[in-house]
Amino acid sequence: MAKAEKGTAAEPAAASDDKVPEFETALEELEQIIERLEGGELTLEHSLHEFERGVRLSRTCHEALQQAEQRVQQLIEEDGQLRFEDFDLPPES
């Protein structure tokens, strides 16, 4: 049985599973995984592998967004002192 090249849709690279990618990279990879899963061309085993990777990437993206949300603050000067205040978006009209 011929084995597909590592990193292709048929045989994902195991090495990429070990690294935690940055948000943009993780999101892009997650989108590619979704396309492959929706394509219906993968075997059950490869579909499960891709799904598991997608869940890990989704968690990575969620954590990155939570950290970014915590860092998004408005800097306000009050009595010569700087303080941080949570950033709230204005309500939509």
Which strand (E) or helix (H) includes residue 9? none
Q: Report yes or no on whether pTM surpasses 0.75.
A: no
pLDDT recorded at residue 74? 45
Whether 42 and 4 have beta carbons less than 8 Å apart is answered as no
pLDDT of residue 48: 97
Which token pair is 80?
């010569």
Contacts of residue 64, defined as CB under 8 A and 6 or more positions apart, other chains included, come to 22, 23, 26
Domains (ranges, CATH) in the chain?
Answer: 21-86 (1.10.287.1040)
Give the burial string for 17-55 (b: 16+ CB within 10 Å, else e): eeeebeeeebbebbeebeebeeeeebeeebeebbeebbe
- pLDDT tens, position by position, for the chain (93 residues)? 443 434 444 444 444 555 667 899 999 999 999 999 999 999 999 999 999 999 999 999 999 998 887 776 544 445 556 666 666 666 766
Contact 70, 29 (CB under 8 A): no
pLDDT at 84: 64
